Structure 1
Amino acid sequence: MTLSPAWLDELRARTTLSAVIGPSVKLIKAGREFKACCPFHNEKTPSFTINDEKGFYHCFGCGAHGDAIRFLTDQRGMPFMDAVKELAAKAGMDVPAPDPRAAERAERSAGLYEVMDRANRWFIEQLDGVDGAAARAYLKERGISDSTRKKFGFGFAPDSRGKLKAALADFGADKLVEAGLLIAPDDGKQPYDRFRGRLTYPIRDVRGRVIAFSARILGAGEPKYLNSPDTPLFDKGRTLFNLDLAGPASRAAKRILIVEGQMDVIALDQAGIGEVVAPLGTALTEQQLEKLWRLEPAPICCFDGDNAGQKAAIRAALRALPHLGPERTLRFVTLPAGKDPDDLIKAGGRAAMEALLELPEPLVDRLWRHEVDSAALDTPEARAGLKQRLMTHVQAIAEPNLRQLYRDEFLRRFDALVRPQASTQRPFPQRREWNAKAGRYLPPAPPASQAARAIGAGGIDRSTARALVLGHALYPQAIGDHVEHFAALALDDAAALRLRDRMIDLAIGDAALDRDQLLPILAVGETAAAWADVSKTGDIGFSFTRARTDPDLARRDLALAVEALVARNEIDKALAAATRRLEQEFTESAFAEQQRLLSARAQVNDRLASLAGNE
């Protein structure tokens, strides 16, 4: 069986080399590489290096060198196909069925690299010749220096249907068609040059080999940019422009940027920012993201400031969601409206671009901003739609821990956004004693309990602290929703404090801790007496102090209570400072600030009191 170079390259791209070698030798992390004692010869000092980004290992002692397949064949003695099948199974790839024509196709593909290299050299010669004057003038107008022109291999395709075909005639028309350099008409007429009257520059694979071309028209006409078609060498959905140069640059810069167009890449490189790639006329694909994540865990999407550019940014974010992980995300930079990176560089140089890159926007922030800005939120239906869209994004994340964290973060932001709109309403609506239309008596609302009034009047009293701790004991999954805030609450009650600290320790050690596991632990040892006291709490009617409350309601009310107490603590600090300023000098602004904070504190107390009144 003969496997295509493209399939084998995909297998290598999906394989983490250190995971293949790790079971055989002890690996030591060394920057972005691993070191180990060489498994191919005896040594005491590590001279064997593994580079996951490049996908190869090398021993500076004995010279052993290779990729994941080579390691399995040379070190473990596996036959080539057995090694391929083992790696393919782990990578989730199907090994192609035997094909008698595969060897022939592989041989022909190998010859295409020579074809593309010859074509590239011919285009460069044309740019330097008489026919290339207009193209050279265009490059000068765009500010492309001679060194940049040579670095990116700019060339020129004359406005002729047969000049390239004649120059590469020794390869044969069929091979030139297969390489995407000629177009074969459907009516059986002779093939003709694909690129005509255009400025050209090569598209290279990660090894720097020419696999396709991009070409810009110099005069009027469409399309403005023309790329090679997919060929045995080139798949636009798997290829990133400039990856061969941006990869090494990204290791030095510790970042990699994604822009929309190839000319943006070239402009940034000329300005001194070389760690830049661009897709080739398509939205970012999963395969392209995989290649980027091998270089950098958080690539920066730097798309144009117009509507199309911002839509491209959101498409990239949504495409990335199912593949996110602790070391796999995206960041975003929004360019000024109507500007692309090339415009920004021309207007302000590298410094203008670096200023934007200093504070890239995390993916979670970009998604949140997009959804909040996408529609007005002035009705309950609109706000419900926002929440539904956010939860749809959350469900797209495959990694469970990260999915939960995104859910928590979106819900926290949603609550903070929506609740102020409801806070102007009375927490306890007035009820009429007589409804004339219905003809029946409606009794007045029952008075708030003594405990609820205690909360409304002032600080976190002993009963509230104990109710909060009891609620987290009955619904321990809620601890992870706000563990930092819960841990920071100043609980004056010793029993509640002891139980809270113990629960946090247990929850951090076991994120899946449930009620049946937690309560027996609290009922023995150092917390036994505290639990005996706190478990009797019942004078405040929080939903979460009842064991049979709907778990979702209990978790939500716990989150609301913790958030309110944290907010009140911050308000109290600000209020104390405002009061001191007022005592030092009475001014209208100082008085207004104190009254605003007093009002804010009263609203928080009302929220707590309403939760405590949920009998």
Structure 2
Amino acid sequence: MANFSPTFLDEVLARSDLVELIQRHVELKRSGSNLMGLCPFHHEKSPSFSVSPDRQLYYCFGCGKGGGAFQFLMEHDGYSFPEAVEYLADKAGLELPRDTHASHTDDLRQQEDFRLLERAASAMAAALNTPAGANALLYLQKRLLPPAIVREYGLGYAPQGYGFMDKVFGTDAATHAKLERVGLLFKGDRGYGDRFRDRLMFPIRDRRGRVAGFGGRVLGEGEPKYLNSPETPYFHKSELLYGFFEHRDTIRKRRQLVVVEGYMDVLAMAAHGLKIGLAPLGTATSEGQIGEILRLCDTPVFCFDGDRAGRQAAWRALERMLPLLKSEFSPKFLYLPEGEDPDSLLNKEGAEAFSRRLEQDALPVLESWIYGLKLLAGQGAEGRAVMAKKADAMLAAMADPYLVQVWRQEAERVSGLALQSRGRPARVEAPKPVQRAAVVLNAVEERFMAGLLQEPARLERLSSAAMNFFIDKPTIHAIYSRAFSMRVDAEAKDTDIARQLIRAFPDDQQMISRWINQAAVHEIEYRSLLLDMETNDIRRRMRGGIGLGESVLLQKRLRELQQQQQELKEQLGTTGA
């Protein structure tokens, strides 16, 4: 990871507009001196997400997420810290320090890999409009997909045979190895070959909008019908969702999300003005994908084809959802008519009728569970026994004790049998690990720590008396002491203290990031804070009971500190600061 000086970070933040950054995702409205909106990090119905344009800081009073421009890009868009700095520096027209580029092979390799994937996507998009891509284009026309959607989502074509990637990138061995690394080539007994051939291509983007891999639909005979990129450092089928980057903001604004089975369903919805669809990558919806879905929208509708395979896919999604369900989530399941999928229904009925289906026909998750149990169980007494047994096993996966009670009661009502299992009571009722109490800092302490971490050189100028600061707050004192040690022991004085502290205290990452991302603590303010910190520390010691002699000395030091504070105020008045 790159090392950036505090001065450079301050300059990047000073030239960045956090409000503009956040407004790409959140609708903000003026509320006094701040701006308020719905938090992009958790579900809420009334705004508790506050942005201060003056201090360039955000904070959610609901979930506690907060920080500055760097932290927002990291938390919301999935940037690493160096990537966030580089993005904002480039946006502000600032040149990165030269040594930033020299020693970070991994960062450079990742950037090169994403450029290769983007270039491949562009080449495939161009190939779609050549004579070779005529069949792929005809297929899209038959599916009634408008050219604007084809362009917007970057659909393309991988030509028949081998050698397309060679034409785009060249044939040298190093390039072949890179293309294999990102999943565009495979290595066989006769050398490298194109992974995708004669397929309609769907670029799949990560949460930052970078092409991470591809899905390819075969156009003629052949298996598999859909072929995805292999697992790579950037492409993980069980984590990515098709349409996530393109539709994330619309989903949040409309508070609607529809999970469908295929890429074409997502695109058909978009073509009808419903840019709220997401799809797993040709596999069953994973627990990780469901977690991402529930974080994005607490009322998603899982919409599956009206055939046996669709019902099975819905049941698998429901099973994987159980450990994640909480009472505040309200997912639903929509079962389409036999032989239909979202694409076909939209083209037959239109967006308005399809939206009515989503609203009126989707079953709450509990009803879907009971419906699925009945299908599994069959008829008669044996069927009711099977239903109760399966319900027992599934309830054991649920973590929310209140939902367990409700679901158990409903299963017992429908089956007519008392369930043997009590869900997960042992896990729910077991004593939870003692959590560390939240650390509360007053305004002086908060700004003092921010001032130190923004300008680590200040650590070396601390007096011996300052070593007792935060002695009554062990968590902060540990961070404070480690920061001092890191600064003193660092061979290079531009060592990134903040990132080292985050590695040493991962549980305190939010707090450390908050200090780094606060408005800059300039020297005159820092000097005042230092005086306040020593003043407060002396008062703390005096409250603890000390001898007469020490009390006299401390009283004298208090008067000196008060005098210095007065001089600072006069200096501020003179300079007009």
**TM-score, with normalisation over the residues of structure 1?**
0.53
Task: Map residues 37-116 of structure 1 onto 2, 5 A cutoff.
Answer: 45-47=33-35, 51-53=39-41, 59-64=52-57, 104-116=105-117
Structure 2 residue 375 is matched with structure 1 residue 373: yes
Equivalent residues of 2:203, 2:211 under 8 A apart: yes
Q: How far did residue 392 of structure 1 move?
A: 2.2
Whole-angstrom distance in 2 between the partners of 1:183 and 1:232: 15
Alignment of 1:112-511 (within 5 A): 112-169=113-170, 172-185=175-188, 187=189, 189-359=190-360, 360-379=362-381, 381-415=382-416
Deviation at 1:134, TM superposition (A): 2.2
Deviations 1:246-289 (A, max 9, x none): 21221233210001110111111111211000000111112111
Hey, what's the Cα distance between the residues in 2 that align with 1:354 and 1:48? 30
The one-letter code of the counterpart of 2:56 is: G
- Alpha-carbon distance between aligned partners in 2 of 1:118 and 1:288, rounded to the nearest angstrom: 27
Comparing 203-212 and 65-74, the one that deviates more: 65-74
Instruction: Tell me if structure 2 keeps the 8 A contact 1:245–1:275.
Output: no
Q: Which amino acid aligns with 1:172?
A: T
Shift of 1:174: 1.2
Contact 1:212 1:228 (C-alpha < 8 Å) held by counterparts: yes
* Kept in 2: contact 1:293–1:328 (CA 8 A): yes
Deviation at residue 412 of structure 1 after TM alignment: 3.0
> Aligned partner of 2:245: which letter?
D
In the aligned structure 1, how far is the partner of 2:177 from the partner of 2:58? Answer: 37
8 A contact 2:303–2:334 mirrored in 1? yes
Cα deviation, residue 347, structure 1 = 2.0
* Aligned counterparts of 1:343 and 1:73: Cα–Cα separation in 2: 44
After alignment, is 231-240 or 170-179 more displaced?
A: 170-179
1:315 corresponds to which letter in structure 2?
A: R
CA shift for structure 1 position 314: 0.6
Q: Which whole-Å CA distance do the structure 1 matches of 2:104 and 2:324 have between them?
A: 35
Distance in 1 separating the partners of 2:415 and 2:377? 14
The answer for unaligned runs of 5 or more in structure 2 is: 3-24, 44-48, 73-79, 82-102, 419-428, 430-577
Cα deviation code 1:43-98 (max 9, x no counterpart): x73347683439998542233479969669999xxxxxxx99xxxxxxxxxxxxxx
Q: Name the CA shift for 1:281/1:400 in 2 (closer, same or farther; >3 Å).
A: same
CA contact (8 A) 2:33 2:52 kept: no
Instruction: Give the RMSD, CA atoms, in angstroms.
Output: 3.5
Q: Contact 2:261/2:304 (CA < 8 Å) preserved in 1?
A: yes
Q: Secondary structure at the match of 1:184?
A: strand
C-alpha separation between the residues in 1 aligned to 2:250 and 2:213? Answer: 22
Conserved 8 A contact 2:58-2:66: no
Match of 2:485 in 1: none
2:520 is matched with none
Q: Match of 2:396, as an amino acid? A: Q
- Deviation string, structure 1 residues 449-497 (Cα, Å, up to 9, x no partner): xxxxxxxxxxxxxxxxxxxxxxxxxxxxxxxxxxxxxxxxxxxxxxxxx
Q: Distance in 1 between matches of 2:176 and 2:66?
A: 36
CA distance in 2, matches of 1:200, 1:131: 14
Report SS of the residue matched to 2:137.
helix
- Which whole-Å CA distance do the structure 1 matches of 2:262 and 2:164 have between them? 28
Q: Percent same amino acid among aligned pairs?
A: 34
Separation in 1 of the partners of 2:312 and 2:268?
23
Give the 4+ runs in structure 1 shifted more than 6 A: 31-37, 54-57, 65-69, 72-75
Larger RCO (CA under 8 A, 6+ residues apart) = 2
* 2:29–2:36 contact (8 Å) kept in structure 1: yes
**Higher mean displacement: 301-310 or 155-164:** 155-164
Any conservation in 1 of the 2:257–2:277 contact (CA below 8 Å)? yes
SS at match of 2:281: coil
CA deviations 1:343-362 (Å, max 9, x no partner) are: 21222222332232122101
| Cα separation, 2, equivalents of 1:48 and 1:348 | 39
Structure 2: distance between partners of 1:69 and 1:107: 29
Change (3 A) 1:282 1:61: same
* 1:277 to 1:294, Cα distance in 2 relative to 1, 3 A: same
Q: Secondary structure at the match of 1:358?
A: helix
Contact 1:49 1:59 in 2 (8 A): no
Q: How many pairs does the alignment contain?
A: 358
The verdict on how the C-alpha distance between 1:216 and 1:383 changes in structure 2, with shifts beyond 3 A counting, is closer
Instruction: Tell me the alpha carbon deviations over residues 545-582 of structure 1, each in whole angstroms, 9 at most, x when there is no partner.
Output: xxxxxxxxxxxxxxxxxxxxxxxxxxxxxxxxxxxxxx
Q: CA deviation at 1:328?
A: 2.7
- The Cα shift of 1:400 comes to 1.3
Give structure 1 stretches of 5+ with no counterpart: 3-30, 38-43, 76-82, 85-101, 419-511, 513-615
Structure 2 length as normaliser, TM-score? 0.56
SS in 1 for 2:377: coil
Aligned partners of 1:200 and 1:215 also within 8 Å? yes
Return the alpha-carbon distance in structure 2 between the equivalents of residues 54 and 63 of structure 1: 21
Instruction: Trace 1:560-571 onto structure 2 (pairs within 5 A).
Output: none
Q: Identify if the C-alpha distance between structure 1 residues 330 and 74 changes in structure 2 by more than 3 Å, giving closer, same or farther.
A: closer
Distance 1:72 1:400 in 2: 38
Cα distance 1:376–1:135, how it changes in 2: closer, same or farther (>3 A)?
A: closer
AA aligned to 2:313 is A
On the 8 A contact 1:332/1:366 being kept in 2, the answer is: yes
